[in-house]
């Protein structure tokens, strides 16, 4: 008797693995949000200090620190990184461009 494998390889995006329609957006928010939290924890700030630094109300700080990144747009999370003195560079290029890639780099 052959046992059927109960494991399957991940796509590296848990949201895609769960079949969510906005998986890429959620994954991007998660990656940015985790970086925001890391930087905030390094500074060892209280929530009211974070509120002032990021320019958001204290309840939103609570959501952020609990990893509820779906409450924030990618733009808002990038703004938080800027307020935390982080250099942000976006590389824009066609997804399937082959070897001749026209790339645009934007620094925020």
Beta bridge partners of 104: 92
CATH of 14-107, picked from 3.40.50.10170, 1.10.260.40, 3.40.50.10210, 3.30.200.20, is: 1.10.260.40
Per-residue pLDDT tens over the stretch 16-35: 899 999 999 999 999 999 99
CA 53 to chain centre: 19
Give dist(CA 46, CA 61) in Å, integer. 10
Say what the pTM is: 0.80
Locus of tokens 């703004």:
79
The domain locations on the chain are 14-107
The half-sphere exposure of 11 on its side-chain side, counting CA atoms within 13 A, is 11
Please name the residues in contact with 34: beta carbons below 8 A apart, sequence gap of 6 or more.
67
Per-residue pLDDT tens over the stretch 49-108: 999 999 999 999 999 999 999 999 999 999 999 999 999 998 888 877 666 667 787 887
């Amino acid at each position: 008797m052959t046992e059927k494998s109960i494991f399957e390889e991940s796509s590296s995006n848990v949201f895609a693995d769960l079949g969510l329609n906005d998986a890429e957006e959620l994954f991007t928010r998660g990656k940015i949000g985790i970086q925001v939290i890391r930087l905030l924890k390094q500074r060892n700030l209280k929530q009211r200090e974070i509120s002032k630094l990021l320019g958001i109300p204290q309840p939103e700080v609570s959501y952020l620190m609990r990893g509820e990144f779906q409450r924030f747009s990618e733009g808002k999370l990038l703004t938080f990184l800027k307020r935390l003195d982080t250099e942000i560079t976006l590389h824009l290029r066609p997804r399937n461009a082959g070897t001749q890639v026209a790339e645009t780099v934007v620094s925020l």
